[in-house]
Amino acid sequence: MNEENELSYFKGGLAIGVSLGIISGIASTLWYQKKRTLDADLVLENVKAAFLKEGPIEGSWIEFEKKPLRKFAVHSKTYNGGISRLEDGTMVQYEFTADAFTGTVIDVKRIKD
């Protein structure tokens, strides 16, 4: 009878240990997904693809350093970059700001000559 109790305690402990391991694994995966940022090259490729829908581009760049952005109560990290292209025979440059977590373009500005 004593051996049966010890085996029962072992099985119970094993079940609790496995359950805690699975729960902590799921929690850490969710936390990592929330904190993970996109690669700057991927963000630039997405912005270039959007600009290419309107015509060819001549050049592009992006800063790999993420910069904090705060607009009212919203806090995020962003990438800054730029696109240049010919419009009516004149080189025009645009600067953009994109969210580092989603890749969404937050702002685009045309640079004046």
Q: What is the pLDDT of residues 53-68, one digit of tens each?
A: 988 999 999 999 999 9
pLDDT at 80: 96
Backbone angles phi, psi at 20, to 5 degrees: -65, -40
pLDDT of residue 85 exceeding 80, the answer is yes
pLDDT of the residue at 11: 78
Give the whole-angstrom CA distance, residue 24 versus residue 110.
47
Q: What is the pTM of this model?
A: 0.69
Task: Confirm if 57 and 51 have CB atoms less than 8 A apart.
Answer: yes
How far CA 26 is from CA of 21, 29, 37, 92, in Å, comes to: 9, 5, 19, 48
Confidence of residue 9 (pLDDT cuts 50, 70, 90): confident
Q: Residue 64's pLDDT is what?
A: 93
